[in-house]
Chain A
Amino acid sequence: MAAGPGGIRGAGGKGRRARPVARAGWQARLATVLKYLSLVAASVVVLLPLGVVLLTSLKTSDELARGGGPLSMPDDWLNFANYVTAFEKGQMAEAAFNTFVILIVSITGTVFIGSAAAYAIDRFSFRFKKLVVALFLFATLVPSITTQVTTFQVVNQLGLFNTRLAPIMLYLGTDIVAIYIFLQFIRSIPVSVDEAARMDGASALTVYWKIILPLLKPAIATVVIVKGIAVYNDFYIPFLYMPDQDLGTVSTSLFRFKGPFGAHWENISAGTILVIVPTLAIFLMLQRFIYNGLTQGAAK
């Protein structure tokens, strides 16, 4: 096995070589076997439910009716007919478009709003600063699902109900975690950097735009990832605020499969796989960033 980076793995390796001295050899070997057994078992538990859905998505309705059991292999591994049905009848093209628009606008907005707020809070002292920070802090504690009852009235009165702006505004307005990620990062940028620019006569806006924002790039990457995953996967906000058929997002359009497709599990499975594939692609491409991003985001 190739020696990986990271001190602990090296240390662990050393431990393994050292252990046979400390313990009886068969015990160590049993521990290793149990370790791999547990890892394989966990992997099967994770992959089996997904694999079965993939198998089902490749079967015809006749095959399902024949009752070969969910674990049986499809007759034709290249039978993508269900995907075509799911994509067209499930209005997945519109869903992808709506989700994309909402994603882009709310992520861009979150980056600007979050970094501006963090810049003001960290780099200036002003009256009521403690109150402002407390207001942001308290809002993180309130689970947004509990206030939906009255948020609905607000959205309705603003005339946003059944528009793409409803989820966009809500994603922008309720993302306090982003402010914390930016705040944490902005503290690590030495004040002397913007001091120097201010001495040269740069305005606060110029400092924010030309110095702070570019230096925040790693934090922006984190926010984009955390926010992107959250928005792509969110179900409740679009479900509640955009019931219009043409305003489906990936989540709500998939949810609507329940009705017209009834018990047509081959189509529902295809739709489900269609929704999972982009996530899998992004995950495989950005693994390292996603792990880091979520670790930072969760430890707000």
Chain B
Amino acid sequence: MTPTSSSLRRVPAGAAAPQDTPPARRSRRKASSRGRQALTPWLFLLVPLAFLVTFSYVPIINMIVYSFTDWDGVSPDYSFTGVENYVEIFTRPELFKVFIASLYYLAAAVLQIVLALYFATVLSFNTRFRNLFKGILFFPYLINGVAIGFVFLYFFQEGGTFDTVLGLFGIGGEHLWLGDPDLVNFSLAGVSVWRFLGLNFVLFLGGIQSIAPELYEAAELDGAGRWQQFRFIIVPSLRPLIGLTAILAVSGCLSVFEIPYIMTGGAGASETFVIQTVKLAFRFNKTGLASAAAVVLLIIILLVAWLQRRLVPEERAVA
């Protein structure tokens, strides 16, 4: 490519880019007289793009290809089987029933957002030991997932901490919190709330603190009480953040993996979609079927992300 042709192409491209400020454009036109200038951004992008392609796009493309095959992940050969894997996922109810577990996490996520909103509001007003409470509520989010798994394996033991505490309140008996198929998802979803409440809470707290204090003062002059301030100032200001959190919660619920895998190994009713996919791939060597399952999950998550972009107004365009 000659310097002339590249500079010819670059100038209209630069002029068309909306984020270009006038001084930038001026200097670029001048700079583009040097031909290697066109290469400079690629030098900076070389390594990032190499990583992106190798570890994001090659796996995604392979996954889509394998999803139409019967590959077992080991043998050198595989044959294309069309949409057979997808038919299997949608027609074998046991492969699809794992989404039931997601519903528990979804319900837990709703509870989590409500609680986070409550605590963020309470702590944004004058409160004694405010930083202590903030730290305590937030800290679980930072804890290692395996450590959390062990903490709650112990907590939920038969006759363990939870049973003992319930006993203090007169609720006797020993329960198989992690063994009983009717209870296990409640227990695990509870752990999820315990772990992730702090993040939502801190995000909401940050959102509330960026509200201009004049708004509260004006509201108070108008005689608005605490509830009205919450209802008419805090909730509307946080709406984009709440929307974003809700959508993230949905995709989070669909891809639950770590806590159930560590605590129950994903046995029985606690199996989630991702655990099932991982088992299909690495334990049962059904790479083709697992790829198809992963593609299905990916499509669902992309749909959710697309909905987010439609429902939650973007505050700033990306690049």
Contact = CB atoms under 8 A, between A and B. Distances in A.
**Chains A and B are bound partners:** yes
The majority secondary structure among interface residues of chain B is: helix
Contacts of A279: 142-144
A98 to B, nearest CB: 14
Contacts of A50: 151
B106 interface: no
Nearest to A13: B126
Interface in A206-253: 208, 229, 232-233, 235-236, 240, 250-252
Interface residues of B, number: 111
B49 interface: yes
A36 B127 CA distance: 9
A23 interface: yes
A83 interface: no
B52 A136 contact: yes
Contacts of A272: 147, 150-151
Contacts of A269: 150, 154
Contact of A8 (B63, B124, B152): B124
B267 interface: no
B208 interface: yes
B313 interface: no
B10 A125 contact: yes
Given A8-B208, A116-B45, A147-B63, A22 B55 contact: no
B235 interface: no
B55 A169 contact: yes
A18 B211 contact: no
Contacts of A250: 144
A154 B257 CA distance: 22
B139 A283 contact: yes
B225 A23 contact: yes
Contact of B199 (A121, A148, A298): A298
Given A147-B60, A283-B139, A235 B258 contact: yes
Contacts of A154: 54-55, 58-59, 62
Interface string A121-148: 1111111010011011101011101111
A275 B148 CA distance: 10
Given A23-B225, A153-B62, A198-B31, A146 B144 contact: no
B277 interface: yes
A15 B229 CA distance: 10
Interface stretch (B76-84, B88-96, B130-138): B130-138
Interface in A177-195: 179-180, 183, 191-192, 195
A142 B118 CA distance: 31
Contacts of A150: 58-60, 62-63, 66, 291
Contacts, number: 311
B128 A1 contact: yes
Interface string B198-211: 01001100101101
A13 B126 CA distance: 6
Contacts of B103: none
Nearest to B240: A299
A299 B27 CA distance: 33
A117 interface: yes
A19 interface: yes
Contacts of A287: 131, 135
Interface string B243-260: 010000001000101100
Given A11-B213, A143-B255, A143-B301, A148 B278 contact: yes
A249 to B, nearest CB: 10
B48 interface: yes
A146 B297 contact: yes
A135 B213 contact: no
Interface string B154-183: 110100110011000000000000000000
A271 B231 CA distance: 46
B87 interface: no
B155 A149 contact: no
Contacts of A198: 27, 31
Contacts of B213: 7-8, 10-11
Nearest to A114: B48
A192 B136 contact: no
Interface in A63-85: 69-71
A258 to B, nearest CB: 8
Given A1-B126, A169-B51, 5 more contacts: A31-B226, A121-B319, A126-B38, A135-B52, A294-B199
11 contacts: A43-B137, A69-B164, A117-B48, A150-B66, A154-B55, A174-B56, A191-B23, A235-B145, A251-B144, A276-B143, A279-B144
Interface of B: 9-10, 13-14, 17, 20-21, 23-24, 27-28, 31, 38, 40-45, 47-49, 51-52, 54-60, 62-63, 66, 73, 115, 118-119, 122-128, 130-131, 133, 135-147, 150-152, 154-155, 157, 160-161, 164-165, 194, 199, 202-203, 206, 208-209, 211-213, 216-217, 220, 223, 225-226, 229, 241, 244, 251, 255, 257-258, 262, 274, 277-278, 281-282, 287, 290-291, 294, 297-298, 301-302, 305, 318-319
